[in-house]
Amino acid sequence: MIMTASYLNNGELNYLFSTDSDFCAKFREDGYLILRSAVPDELVDKIRYEIEETFLSVDESARPTMSGIQPEIGRFQDAWRKCPSVNELAGLRNILLTLKELYGRDPHPFQTLVFSTPTQQPAHSDHIHFSSIPNGFMCGVWVALEDVTSTNGPLFYFPGSHNLAYMNYHDLNITKNPAHEEAAYQEYEARLEPLMLNLGFKKEVFYAKKGDVLIWSANLVHGGSLALDAQPSRWSQVTHYLFDNCVHYTPRLSDEMTGDLYLRKPIDILTGQPIASVNRSTQEHSAELQEAISERDSLVLKLSDGDKEHSTATLVLRDWSIGVLAELAEFKARDQIAARDLLDATDALRTEMTKGFETGKSLVAEMTRAHEAETLVLKLQAEVANIQRLQNELDALRQSRAFKIGRAVTAPMRILRRIFS
């Protein structure tokens, strides 16, 4: 499925890339997505300029000392630390919105790789380097920083291969010696392309134009073609993304047979903050894993290489067993998420209870004040009644004294009137 940049810039991304659309279904079917002319030329040119000025055109003594910077082979890992344009491309809004619609979660870029030459890397799946529980919540976004032709090592991929089981060393019967892990990885790469062809997958090549984008899923088998030019140039940037609420780990450094996972603590290069991970002990569920593995090993057929029919049967058994492991891990991951949600809900309830307690205290204080006011009113009423009583007594006393005084005055007057009459 190929989309042009005009579709990415019309403000209707949530509609165009909804999870119910044929567009997303096509991505799930093929395992990759091509966005034509999705990155502006100005940004592409800026990335190349900053890489050249920072790492290529300076003396070795003046070159920044960083792990992963290898000018001699044209490989610049995590150049975003010194080149802001690399970080800008990793956080390009069009790409982030596309990934969010495809995966249903916020994407977080955690690693960048800029190449000035073709990688010519054998077939592989990014799952072996970066993976997640639940499976699939990781992807790569490759951007052409110049036109790519058949002569300068174009990318290749096997559409639909992401639907295979997630294969690690044990699934390919590769013995890993921790002291020589690189040898195991080289054997892994050597086996993968023949396996894809043997299973009937068709190899396709991506002839990109400057600014084109290729998004691939975690388990898509892909690589870099051999370059035909003597001194080829093939500028590109690939950014790897993880998503929230997963277990993030590296399969090639893990022992999934025992459940001993090499856990990652990825940082979002846009924010500098850790990507939300589900906490999980590396030894957790080892009993369940061992039980599934024992059942699987009892069913795996010992077959010779090249027997396609029996190889297919082995792959079916392997898919089933890996599915059991994935379901166990995913169940526990969901359990961890549910536990965290429960803790969050408990904290929220505790907050609400605290608010309720404070409200109750305020109400009690108001009721206390109201009771005190009522008591004061009753006291005032009693005082008023007492004053009224005293007033009545005073009035009665006044009336009684006036009567007596009146009698004392009127009696002599009557006598005098009699005398002078």
Long-range contacts of 82-85 (CB under 8 A, 24+ apart): 82/50, 82/54, 82/55, 83/47, 83/50, 83/51, 83/54, 83/114, 84/50, 85/43, 85/46, 85/47, 85/49, 85/50
Which residue, chain included where needed, has tokens 């190929």? 2
Which amino acid belongs to residue 111? Q
Read off the tokens for 317: 């058994």
pLDDT value of residue 402: 58
pLDDT value of residue 29: 86
Return the sign of the alpha-carbon dihedral for residues 273, 76, 38, 204. negative
pLDDT value of residue 409: 58
Closest-CA residue to 240 (of 267, 260, 209): 267
User: Does an H or E element contain 83, and which?
Assistant: none
pLDDT value of residue 286: 47
Taking the C-alpha atoms of residue 411 and residue 421, their distance in angstroms, rounded to an integer, is 16
pLDDT averages per 10-residue partition of the chain, 421 residues = 38 41 79 96 98 93 91 96 97 95 91 97 96 92 97 97 92 87 95 97 98 97 94 96 93 88 95 83 46 52 45 49 53 55 59 66 73 79 81 78 60 67 62
Contacts of 191 (CB under 8 A, 6+ apart): 172, 174
Read off the tokens for 414: 């009557």
CATH top-level class of 2-284: mainly beta
Q: From the DSSP assignment, how many helices (H) and strands (E) are in the chain?
A: 9, 14
Asked if omega into 134 is within 30° of 0 (cis), the reply is yes
Strand-pair partners of 142: 214, 238
Taking the C-alpha atoms of residue 52 and residue 57, their distance in angstroms, rounded to an integer, is 6
pLDDT value of residue 148: 97
Read off the tokens for 289: 């894993």
Contacts of 229 (CB under 8 A, 6+ apart): 151, 152
Q: Where are the domains of the chain?
A: 2-284
The DSSP call for residue 125 is E
